[in-house]
Structure 1
Amino acid sequence: MEKKSLNSEIAGYIGKLLRDNFGKGPTSVYVSIKKPFISIYLKDFLAPIERLLVGQKNYQKVEETRDLMFEELIPEIKATLRVSADLHIKNFYYDWSLENKTGVLLGVMDNSESNDEHFYPEFPNKEILEEEMIKVSEIAQKAPDLLNSMYLNNRTLVMERKGILTELEKELIREGNKEQLLLSKRQLEKRLLDIKVFESILGVGIKDVFVDWDFYLDISYLIFIVKPK
């Protein structure tokens, strides 16, 4: 199947799935595949009841509900992509910008689709960008053991961090505080990111920032959606 056709098919599937489960799907779904990643960017995605909660600034309730919903949906999405698109997704990461009514799903394919070389391509100021991200990580938790970054397309920049959890955070996870820790870390990191600094480094405007973790693998993905030149 041609790449554009495959992307369109996946976008249509995701849009219908969300519409069936939330009562309202996104108006636009943008799919990009660059192994070992697949990114799915959602625009104008906010169900009627979520719109009410967001209007009341009750963001945490919406995020908690979506996390529960997507824990149920992710296995179905993985299975469908494996059968219909021959994409073997090992893990999915997701996050939302409720005020912007946007969201992103980032799938990471299994080891057979991945190797360290996918991060090698350079782009302007990549080293400076990663140094700034290390500073943010040091304030929020600790400097990552490993940090890599790459563009999936001219709109989507992915930063992968491994080994960033502190011993206190690991203990909180062991004690069953995973969801609260996740919500708190999302808010903290986004607040610490100085968008103007990152825009200056990248030389482009930033429309959205998303971040998610796999606490058990001690890995995090941060996604910038930028305005292409």
Structure 2
Amino acid sequence: MEKNSVQAEIASYTGKLFRDNFGKGPSSVYVSIEHPFITIYLSDFLAPMERVLVGQKNFMKVEETRDYLMQELIPEIKATLRVTADIHVENIYYDWSLKNRSGIIVGVVKEESDEEELLSLEDYPNKDRVHEEIIKVSEQAEKAPEQVDSLFLNSRTLVVDRKGILVRIEKELIQSGFSEQLRLSKRQLEKRLLDPSVFESILDTQVMDIFVDWDFTLDKSYIILILKPKKS
């Protein structure tokens, strides 16, 4: 099956999956497949009950509910990608921008080689400055990452990979069963620190959305910047 057909099929499946489980699906789903990632960007996605909670500024309650539901959906998403698109996803990350009514799902394709080789080392303009800002934010939120890399999946999607960012108190909270509370708090903190205007200055384009998620077991994190494509 051609890449565009696969992307269209995944977009259709995702829209239906979210509509069936949330009561309302996204108005648009944008799928991008660029080894070793698959990204699914959702726009205009906010269920009626969630709209009420967001109106009451109860953002964390919405995110907590979505987290629990996503944990149920992730195995189904992985199985569907494997059967319909022959894409063997090892890990899935996700995040939401309730203000923008958008969301991101990121699948990392299973590799035969070590995970260290997942990311392309191709350069792009001001890559070092992007990494400097990511390290600065990480130091303010927890500690400087042991490793940072990034790549453009396409003209509008920049993925940043951080490894080795958890501090000892966070690891203790995870072991004590407070992973969900930690995830919710870290989302709020890091997304306040990730200033879109700084990245707009570095990348010379508008930042539409910023998403963050973690794998506490692997001690790694992905930051995804959704950019406004430049006019050619």
**TM-score, normalised by the number of residues in structure 1:** 0.98
Matched with 1:126 is 127
| 1:117-172, Cα deviation, whole Å (9 max, x unpaired) | 64211100001110111011011001111100001111100000000000111001
Query: Aligned partners of 2:120 and 2:141: how far apart in 1?
Result: 24
Structure 1 gap segments, 5+ residues each: none
- Please list every run of 5 or more consecutive structure 2 residues that lacks an aligned counterpart in the other structure: none
State the alpha-carbon separation in 2 of the partners of residues 193 and 29 from structure 1: 25
Question: Residue by residue, what CA displacement relative to the aligned partner does 1:86-132 show, whole Å, maximum 9, x if unpaired?
Answer: 00000000000001100000000112386626421110000111011
**Post-superposition CA distance 1:184-224 (Å, at most 9, x none):** 00010011112211110011110000000010110100000
Q: Is the CA contact (8 Å cut-off) linking 2:36 and 2:118 kept in structure 1?
A: no
Q: Distance in 2 between matches of 1:119 and 1:136?
A: 23
Q: Is the 8 A contact 2:119 2:150 kept in 1?
A: no
1-structure distance, mates of 2:195, 2:34? 28
Residue 217 in structure 1 maps to residue 218 in structure 2: yes
Share of identical aligned residues, percent?
64
CA contact (8 A) 2:46 2:98 kept: yes
Alignment-derived partner of residue 55 in structure 1 = 55
State the secondary structure of the residue aligned to 1:112.
Answer: coil
Q: Does structure 1 residue 179 correspond to structure 2 residue 160?
A: no
Partner residue, 1:69: 69
CA contact (8 A) 2:95 2:105 kept: yes
In structure 1, the partner of 2:17 is 17
Q: 1: distance between equivalents of 2:119 and 2:219?
A: 20
Q: Which amino acid aligns with 1:216?
A: T
Task: Show the counterpart of 1:189.
Answer: 190
2:40 corresponding residue in structure 1: 40
- Number of residue-to-residue matches in the alignment: 229
Q: Take 2:31 and 2:226, find their aligned partners in 1: how far apart are those partners?
A: 13
CA distance in 1, matches of 2:116, 2:189: 31
Secondary structure, aligned partner of 2:154: coil
TM-score by length of 2: 0.96
Over 3 Å counting, the alpha-carbon distance change for 1:177 and 1:66 in structure 2 is same
Helix, strand or coil at the partner of 2:30: strand
What are the Cα deviations for residues 2-58 of structure 1, in whole angstroms up to 9, with x where unaligned? 111110000000000100111110000000001110000000011110011111111
Q: CA-atom RMSD, angstroms? A: 1.1
Residue 150 of structure 2 corresponds to 149
Give, as a single letter, the amino acid of the residue that structure 2 aligns with 1:202: L
Number of the residue aligned with 1:6: 6
Amino acid at match of 2:31: V
2:87 matches 1:94: no
Moved over 3 A (4+): none
Question: Distance in 2 between the 1:87 and 1:26 partners?
Answer: 23
Following the alignment from structure 2 to structure 1, what is the Cα–Cα distance between the partners of residues 119 and 128?
Answer: 16
Instruction: Give, in whole Å, the separation in 2 of the partners of 1:164 and 1:16.
Output: 36
CA–CA distance in 2 between the matches of 1:10 and 1:115? 27
Taking a change above 3 Å as real, the CA distance of residues 8 and 115 of structure 1, as seen in their structure-2 partners, is farther
Q: 1:84 to 1:69 in 2, by over 3 A?
A: same
